[in-house]
Amino acid sequence: MNRHLISAADLSRDDALLVLDTADELARISDRPIKKLPTLRGRTVVNLFFEDSTRTRISFEAAAKRLSADVINFSAKGSSVAKGESLKDTALTLEAMGADAVVIRHNASGAPHRLAEWVRGSVINAGDGAHEHPTQALLDAFTIRRRFGRSGGSGTSPPGAGPARGGALDGLRVTIVGDILHSRVARSNVLLLHTLGAEVLLVAPPTLLPVAVDAWPCSVGYDLDAALPKSDVVMMLRLQQERMNAAFFPSVREYSRRYGLDSARMAQLPERAIVMHPGPMNRGVEIAAGVADSPRSTVVEQVANGVSVRMAVLYLLLGGAEAEQ
């Protein structure tokens, strides 16, 4: 793997499978009474969050602590950033503190890329603007692989010792529905799922699709009902109204009627199909409560799997390279 994880495009097929297989091995730790490994003892991981986030920040913090790393949580609110300090000055401060890895979430697309130019440690993108969120895509792929029985960890090899390679997602049909325009999760998922062999379809109103979506490695549709019977996975996205500065659809009620997943629509899915959502959910808008809480929903699994996948990323970026030398 590269020294940083800024985009899902940074991952080759082998890199992605290595992360997923390592996560498979690390997921077994959650079943132990003591959920810790000494792998990153003495390393420092900084969570640098310029945007509010509960799920992602806690997930990275839990992942780092389970690997015995020291964790520093940095929030822009109440910090020198609120007084006008630039991202570069903040980066130099972290560099002086000896940060081995910086997990950054920022409202400006490209911020992790700039940060990587200023620090010697590894940079992990935890979401930048409407650009990317690569670890979310990895945990989504991990969840899909487990649900469809394509995991390949042997259960006998320690992390880094070359676990048996699991299957990719070749031939699976994944439909991503909703606010594609403002979604960093959608872009990262399209790139990673394509790399892993899945067929990706985006379904949204024309106003909620990016201008350059034709260049993405996926197909585009506008009719959710036509897509459902042919989908193995349906990923519902939240309407990010906080990022909207115009009227992208007539009303939330109209959007929900056309693009919301309720029980009637879920009945159109093939028997083995699953429903995903990266969270947080707007229940009753893009997804009905009954669907979100159904056995076919993976929402809770995605949160649990996020810790294992982020452990794998931290391990491979900070510990795996040294172990292999």
pLDDT in tens, 145-165: 999 987 764 433 334 433 334
Q: Can you tell me the distance from the alpha carbon of 198 to that of 182, in angstroms, rounded to the nearest whole number? A: 22
Mean of pLDDT over the chain: 88
Cα(151)–Cα(271) distance, rounded to whole angstroms? 20
Q: Tell me the catalytic residues.
A: 55-56, 83, 105, 133
Cα–Cα dist 25/154, whole Å: 8
In sequence order, which residues have a C-beta less than 8 Å from that of residue 69 and are 6 or more positions away? 40, 41, 43, 44, 45, 100, 101, 314, 318
What span, in angstroms and rounded, lies between the C-alpha atoms of 206 and 211?
10
C-alpha 3/C-alpha 304 separation (Å) is 25
How far apart, in whole angstroms, are the C-alpha atoms of residue 209 and residue 206? Answer: 6
Which of residues 105 and 167 earns the better pLDDT score? 105
First-to-last alpha carbon distance for the chain, in angstroms, is 13
Q: Which of 215, 166, 224 is nearest to 190 (CA)?
A: 215
Q: Closest Cα to residue 175, out of 268, 73, 307?
A: 268
Indicate the pLDDT class of residue 251, thresholds 50, 70 and 90: confident
Of 292, 271, 295, 270, nearest to 282 by C-alpha is: 292
* The token pair that represents 26 in the structure block: 């690390």
176 pLDDT more than 90: yes
At position 187, the amino acid (one-letter code) is: R
Distances from the Cα of 3 to the Cα of 120, 258, 294, angstroms:
10, 43, 39
